[in-house]
Chains A and B, each alone.
Chain A
Amino acid sequence: MGAVLRAAWLIAAKDVAIEWRTKTAFASGLVFAVLVLAVLFFSRDPTVVSSHDIAPGALWVTFTFAAMLGLNRAFLLEGELRGLDGILLSPAPRSAIFWGKFGGNLAFVGLIEAISILLFVPFYDVPIWLRFGELLLVIAMTTVAFVAVGTLLSAMVVRTRYAELMLPLLLLPFLVPPLVGGVQLTAGLLDGRPLSALSGWLKLIGAFDVAFVTLAALLFQVVLDE
């Protein structure tokens, strides 16, 4: 257990260091976030659609698509000079590779989300500060859901020729439960509804997290084998 955590931490830290140095995925994620937020804001008729109504959807579209730009990167960097083989040759437990990649991806997506929220506030006049703690919980739970599945799927598609196309194709159906839940919860919270009234969605995302993080961790070993 300790060995897994230690190795996972080393791998995640390495990934973060590499991304920090190159900043490629981060930059494209950020540009994308700004683009989506701006387009959704300006493309509506302000007299018909208030920014308040469109806000939850805009936020989550931004989060997921920017995240997808980053998910493939985690395994692409392993392919350049086959660093992953170096890890496989070490005594690091193989499950640590999943947890390390998962952790690194969460850090990456988390940072993009944090910056997106900061950009979000001036555009969409929404009082997120009032329910900030609860919103953070919702965002965290939903992010865990699609990053877990995304990490597993990106490990699979990275070796195919059409990785950028295959990842969204395969990931999309898995996004439906957490994303719908995330948007509903965000909208509900911003509308001032208490979390207890939205417990159904919260439980759905919670169950999804448990099921799919476990499943992804277990199935990852299968994907690693050549």
Chain B
Amino acid sequence: MPPSDPVIIATALSRRFAYRPVLVDVSLEVRRGEALLLVGPNGAGKTTLLRVLAGLLRPTAGHVERRAPIGMVGHEPMLYPALTARENLRFFARLHGVDTARVAELLEQVDLAHRAHDRIGTFSRGMLQRMAIARALVHEPALLLFDEPLSGLDAAASRALVALLAELRDRGTAMILVSHQLEMLRGVGTHIVRMAAGRLGTVDPLQGRDPVALFTALMREAS
């Protein structure tokens, strides 16, 4: 097992949008090999938190210490519809300083090799999601942030992704996963934390327990 140092340390993050507080004093640490399930009602600030952790959004207060490269799969694919799958990945590979040979590998991994030369503007929602995952993995990041990773994926693709996530986790990649589909991520999560109204609860190591049961308990507790 690789040494468990934190790959990211967030301290007292706050963020407001047009006077509304969206993140309130959030502190968090994630270590190698940990898969943190971030749950909570809509509007709790989960997406905002991920964006601040990724560096796409600046916090109004607080600090993020990033100790390793980050990859992110957000609500939008972060790609260019006019370019082909291959061109998109080549662009991001080059931007990250990664050998473009990796592109073929990635397309295989997300099962899009047969559409490599098609413009992604023509892709379905599920295919775009798989492209986004490929893009996030292009530089083999130590920390992956997932905002609804299973959205748009059919059963087979979901299972494939879950298997991939488990494998990455076992190899030491840290991840934070926001998802409404906890049952599918059962085998992946190692920790769970609840977020509500901009505040983060205490991180709970699952230690073999079922996250779905825990989640239901957490929700009941909150009401």
Contact = CB atoms under 8 A, between A and B. Distances in A.
- The reply to whether A and B meet directly (CB within 8 Å) is yes
Interface of A: 7, 10, 14, 17-18, 21-22, 77, 80-92, 225-226
B95 A92 contact: yes
A89 B139 CA distance: 11
Interface in B48-99: 54-58, 69-72, 74, 76-83, 87, 91-92, 94-97
Given A14-B91, A21-B82, A226-B58, A90 B96 contact: yes
Contacts of B94: 10
13 contacts: A7-B95, A14-B91, A17-B83, A18-B83, A21-B82, A21-B83, A81-B128, A82-B74, A82-B76, A85-B72, A89-B72, A89-B78, A226-B58
| A-B pairs, 6 with minimum CB distance | A86-B78, A82-B76, A90-B95, A18-B82, A85-B78, A83-B80
Contacts of A89: 54-56, 70-72, 78
A17 B83 CA distance: 8
Contacts of A90: 92, 95-96, 139
B135 interface: yes
Nearest to A83: B80
Nearest to B131: A81
A82 to B, nearest CB: 4
Q: Which interface residue of B57, B83, B139 has the most chain A CB atoms within 10 A?
A: B83
Contacts of B57: 226
Given A86-B135, A88-B55, A226-B56, 17 more contacts: A10-B91, A14-B83, A14-B91, A18-B80, A18-B82, A18-B83, A21-B119, A82-B74, A83-B78, A85-B72, A85-B78, A87-B95, A89-B54, A89-B56, A89-B72, A90-B139, A225-B58
Nearest to B58: A225
Contacts of B77: 81-82
Contacts of B55: 88-89
Interface residues of B, number: 30
Chain A binding surface, main DSSP class: helix
Contacts of A80: 80-81
Contacts, number: 68
Nearest to A22: B82
Contacts of B74: 82, 85
Nearest to B69: A91
Contact of A77 (B71, B76, B80, B97): B80
A77 B121 CA distance: 12
Contacts of A85: 56, 72, 74, 76, 78
Contacts of B56: 85, 88-89, 226
B80 A91 contact: no
A207 to B, nearest CB: 34
A198 to B, nearest CB: 42
Contact of A91 (B71, B87, B97): B97
B51 to A, nearest CB: 8
Contacts of B95: 7, 10, 87, 90-92
Contacts of B119: 21
Nearest to A85: B78
A81 B92 CA distance: 14
A22 B121 CA distance: 12
B77 to A, nearest CB: 5
A154 B119 CA distance: 26
Nearest to A19: B82
Interface string B17-30: 00000000000000
B96 to A, nearest CB: 5
Interface in B125-164: 128, 135, 139
Contact of A81 (B54, B71, B76, B91): B76
Contacts of A17: 83, 87
A62 to B, nearest CB: 27
A81 B121 CA distance: 9
